[in-house]
């Protein structure tokens, strides 16, 4: 499928979000439009997560309009595509954890819905950020292994759809597709 979608993978604190933001900013110079930033992390009572969110918000600046969506990412993408040509989603791994912990949500259907939303918005530039969790050791507990498996499967499906895929390590992007 021909689209402008870009998938960015990396480990924790690898520089993937900063790379995604810089890539989006380069693209808006041509169209003079603000970027839709879909944040999937919940701003809860976890002080460390609040600090991470604050850092991301401060770094992004005024060129981004933030939309928070922790569960129905497909709907957020479709809605943002109505008013934005560039959408940055950060991060699929957190979104996957959110839907995985919600017992009322069908995870497989939600993933299918996300993939369909990406197909429907092929005329837009969607930049998706996700953690690459499969490069380390096999997790010691069953829950962590299951999550790593699910994240790996999601990443493979998204990478297949996107025309460009980057792996970011130590702040250095390596284009692996496109």
62 in a structural domain: yes
pTM of this structure: 0.92
Q: What is the dihedral of CA 173, 50, 78, 116, to 10 degrees?
A: 60
Provide the pLDDT for residue 136.
80
75 in a structural domain: yes
The CATH number for 54's domain is 3.40.50.300
Q: Is residue 176 a contact partner of residue 166, using CB atoms and an 8 Å limit?
A: yes
79 in a structural domain: yes
N- to C-terminal Cα separation, the chain: 12
Provide the pLDDT for residue 46.
80
Tell me how many domains the chain contains: 1
Active site residue 84: no
Provide the pLDDT for residue 1.
58
The domain of 165 spans 6-177
1 in a structural domain: no
Provide the pLDDT for residue 33.
83
Please state, in angstroms and as integers, the Cα–Cα distance from residue 94 to each residue in 9, 37, 124, 172, 177, following that order: 13, 15, 23, 22, 23
Q: Where are the alpha helices (DSSP H) in 7-126?
A: 16-31, 47-60, 73-81, 92-101, 107-120
Span 84-136, pLDDT tens digits: 999 999 999 999 999 988 888 899 999 999 999 999 999 999 999 999 998 88
Strand order in the sheet with 164-169: 64-68, 35-39, 86-90, 125-131, 6-10, 164-169, 172-177
Tens-binned pLDDT, residue by residue, of the chain (178 aa): 578 999 999 998 899 999 999 999 998 877 778 899 999 987 777 888 778 777 777 877 888 999 999 999 999 999 999 999 999 999 999 999 999 888 888 999 999 999 999 999 999 999 999 999 988 888 889 998 999 999 999 999 999 999 999 999 999 999 999 9
Tell me which of 27, 56, 60, 150 is the catalytic residue.
Answer: 56
23 in a structural domain: yes
Provide the pLDDT for residue 27.
86
- The strand pairing partners of 7, in sequence order, are 128, 165
């Amino acid at each position: 499928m021909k689209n402008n979608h870009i998938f960015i993978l990396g480990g924790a604190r690898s520089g993937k979000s900063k790379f995604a933001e810089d890539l989006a900013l380069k693209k808006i110079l041509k169209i003079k439009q603000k970027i839709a930033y879909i944040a999937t992390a919940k701003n809860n009572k976890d002080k460390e997560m609040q600090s991470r969110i604050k850092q991301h918000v401060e770094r992004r600046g005024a060129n981004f309009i933030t939309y928070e969506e922790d569960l129905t990412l497909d709907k957020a993408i479709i809605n943002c595509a109505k008013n934005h040509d560039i959408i940055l989603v950060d991060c699929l791994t957190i979104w996957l954890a959110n839907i995985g912990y919600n017992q009322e949500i069908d995870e497989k259907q939600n993933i299918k819905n996300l993939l369909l939303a990406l197909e429907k918005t092929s005329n837009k530039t969607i930049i998706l950020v996700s953690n690459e969790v499969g490069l380390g050791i096999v997790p010691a507990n069953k829950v962590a292994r299951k999550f790593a498996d699910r994240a790996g499967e999601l990443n493979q499906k998204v990478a297949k759809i996107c025309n460009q895929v980057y792996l970011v390590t130590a702040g250095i992007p390596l284009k692996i597709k496109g």
